[in-house]
Structure 1
Amino acid sequence: MLTLVTYPPAFGQPSGSPFCVKALYLLNLSGLPWQRKDTADPRNWPKGKLPALWVDDEIIGDSDNIRTWLEERGAHFDAGLSDLDRATSRAFIRMAEEHMYFHIVLDRWADKAVWPIVRDTYFATIPAFLRKFISRGIRRMLLRGMDAQGLGRLTAGERLERIEPDLQAITDRLWHGPFLFGAQPSAADASVAAMLGAMASTPGGTALSRRVSQDVMLVDYMRRVQAALG
């Protein structure tokens, strides 16, 4: 039996991490039987990150590696897609995971009104009297990284302007079918819908969470993906 090691559910999503949600969607799309194991502590898993797939004595870390492992065993996540659509799918996945994701990070970790809710959710297993002290250093390190990356130097309004073309690109694709590449969900849906779900569910009613959660087309799309793969 395959075991997906993942962060617990949070903010109404199957996991607090969109990458864990992506892995969950891919496993369901693969058709293979699997079970989940929740943990809030990633330190003992590959690269100190989650998700991880535990298979007998083998552990596959990272959602991309999990996808590759499943494909090597017969999963067809992009069945029926043309070469052009496969290339576009990869671009959408990279847009979601290398750009959209960091907007989620800043929405949750940088906003002073949102951070206490996120802190008490992500670090719930740490006693309250230690939680602020331990999480403060992690948050400071993360925000320094986002500043070095560049997105952390933008205001919330500037970030919203920056991500709007990404959201519009997703909407443009959805005018052509219920999923990004036709009538059936594919690997791109697993990534993109997971990121949108994380955006919409961020607590505190940020500008980005309102933008996504009030977009009827995006909300209907997320519901379709969750119904098909969740």
Structure 2
Amino acid sequence: MITLITYAPAFGQPSASPYCTKAIWLLNMSGQSWGRSDTFDPRSMPKQKLPAIRVEETLIHDSDDIRAYLEGQGHDFDAGLSDMERATSRAFIRMAEEHMYFHIVLDRWGDDRTWPKVRDTYFKMIPKPLRRFITNRLRKSVLRGMHMQGLGRLTAKERLARIEPDLQAVTTRLWHGCFLFGNRPTAADASVAAMLGAMRATPGSTLLKTRIAEDVILCRYLDRMEQAMRAPNGDVVSLCA
């Protein structure tokens, strides 16, 4: 059986990390038998990041490599998609994981009103007398990285304007079906919905969280995705009725 090594659930999501949520959903979609092992400390992992899966004595890290492994076992996450749709799917995944994700980071680590709740959730294993001191150093490192990346130089309003075309692109795709590429979830949904769900679940009331929470189309999509991942035998047709 596959063991998923992942961050624990947080803020009502399957994991504190949207990449771990993506891996959970890919495993569910694949039909493979799997279990989870939650941890707060990824430092023992080869890349010091999560998610990872353990298959017998082999450790496979990174959600993309997990997808590749599952596809090697015979599951096609994009079954039925044309070559053009598969290319578009790849672009949506990269949009979600290489741009939308960093907006989540800044919402959670960069907002002084949100940070205390995030800190006490992510780092609850650290004794309270030490937690603020240790995590303040981590927070400064993360925000320094976001400044170098570029988004950390923008105000919250500027960041919202920057991500708006991405959200519009997702909404446009959803006019074609219940999910991004029709009436069943594909690999792109596992990535995009995981990021949007993390945005909606962020503590507090940031501009981005409010933007997602007030968008009826996106919220219905997220609710459908969460239901689909709980549907017995992958039967999601009724969700699109």
- The bucket for the TM-score relative to the shorter chain is over 0.9
Q: 2:3 maps to what in 1? A: 3
Q: Secondary structure at the match of 1:47?
A: coil
Q: 1:164 maps to what in 2? A: 164
Q: Secondary structure at the match of 1:75?
A: coil
Task: Report whether the alignment pairs 1:184 with 2:203.
Answer: no
Shift of 1:134: 1.1
Q: 1:54 maps to what in 2? A: 54
Map of 1:209-228 to 2, 5 A cutoff? 209-228=209-228
Counterpart Cα distance in 1 of 2:117 and 2:229: 28
5+ residue gaps, structure 1, are: none
Task: Report whether the alignment pairs 1:67 with 2:73.
Answer: no
Map of 1:39-50 to 2, 5 A cutoff? 39-50=39-50
Which amino acid in 2 is paired with 1:52? A
Q: 1:102 maps to what in 2? A: 102
Kindly report structure 1 stretches of 4+ aligned residues shifted beyond 3 Å.
none
Which amino acid in 1 is paired with 2:199? M
RMSD, aligned α-carbons: 0.7
Q: How many residues align?
A: 230
Task: Report whether the alignment pairs 1:32 with 2:32.
Answer: yes
Q: 1:148 maps to what in 2? A: 148
Q: Secondary structure at the match of 1:182?
A: coil
Which whole-Å deviations, capped at 9, do the CAs of 1:19-59 have from their partners, x for residues lacking one? 00000000000011100111111111121100010111111
Q: 1:17 maps to what in 2? A: 17
Map of 1:199-210 to 2, 5 A cutoff? 199-210=199-210
Shift of 1:136: 1.1
Which amino acid in 1 is paired with 2:203? P
TM-score, normalization by structure 2:
0.94
Counterpart Cα distance in 2 of 1:31 and 1:228: 13
Which amino acid in 2 is paired with 1:224? R
Q: 2:235 maps to what in 1? A: none
Q: Residue 46 of structure 1 contacts residue 52 of structure 1 at CA under 8 Å; is this kept in 2? A: no
Q: Secondary structure at the match of 2:47?
A: helix
Which whole-Å deviations, capped at 9, do the CAs of 1:149-203 have from their partners, x for residues lacking one? 1000000000000000000000000011000001111000000000000000100
5+ residue gaps, structure 2, are: 231-241
Q: 1:120 maps to what in 2? A: 120
Which amino acid in 1 is paired with 2:178? P
Counterpart Cα distance in 2 of 1:195 and 1:20: 11
Q: Residue 46 of structure 1 contacts residue 60 of structure 1 at CA under 8 Å; is this kept in 2? A: no
Shift of 1:229: 1.8
Q: Secondary structure at the match of 1:170?
A: helix
Which amino acid in 1 is paired with 2:103? H
Counterpart Cα distance in 2 of 1:157 and 1:19: 25
Q: Identity, % of aligned pairs?
A: 66
Q: 2:137 maps to what in 1? A: 137
Q: Secondary structure at the match of 2:37?
A: strand
Q: Secondary structure at the match of 1:59?
A: strand
